[in-house]
Amino acid sequence: MTHFPVSLLPHWIQRMCNFGPECYPLPGLPIVGRNLKMRVFTRSDEDKRQHWAKFEESYLAKYNFAPRNEFENDRLFERLRDRLRIALDNLSGEMIGYICLQSVNGDPEAAELGICFSADQVSNGYGSEALRLFLPWAVNTLALNRIVLDVDVVNRRALRLYQRFGFRMVGETWRTEKNSALMERIRHGITIPGIRCRRNRLELLSW
């Protein structure tokens, strides 16, 4: 039987360097569903996601991961060890998405959730299955009692998914984003609800 450090629970979010160079152990993983396998995100996954299909929608360009060399990916993987990432494989063993958890104001019982999929894997029901697998594990194993997230209002597909799982809006904010393709569209007079340009800065409305 594997013994996991007591410090992981409930203080689940911490620097993970004590758990080996490739990945860190987490109780209860992997979890296999009907179409997805949920497992710990490893160093090799950093390379895999950069070869995903790209989104054509300009407001989703931030999820189009640019290729990096091995050294840059090593550094990125180490830098992102301050959060928890869970890889999502299809039943063929291909990583098609991942889930990310980050701390919320140092509260060990709260986390901020993010989900990302390859562009060619969206609208296949994977988002719903990922949440059905992940949320009970996060509550029962990580001892989280509050999960929050930010979602751009323009991303209607993501909004519908989160609302189906009981997330509710508690506030909204305009935040600055660097997205040259989207900025060009706004400058050419294209109006997109939830997106604006102020003082030569692109801003997206998030709930």
The reported pLDDT for the residue numbered 58 is 84
Collapsed DSSP state (helix, strand, coil) of residue 118: coil
Name the nearest CA neighbour of 22 among 67, 66, 74, 57.
Answer: 74
Digit-coded pLDDT (tens) for 173-207: 998 888 887 888 888 888 888 888 887 888 889 98
CA distance 86 to 28: 12
Q: How confident is the model at residue 4 (pLDDT cuts 50, 70, 90)?
A: very low
pTM, rounded to two decimals: 0.84
Output the average pLDDT for the chain.
85
Tokens 């080996």 belong to 20
CA distance 176 to 174: 7
Collapsed DSSP state (helix, strand, coil) of residue 98: strand
Q: Is the pLDDT of residue 136 over 70?
A: yes
CA distance 119 to 97: 9
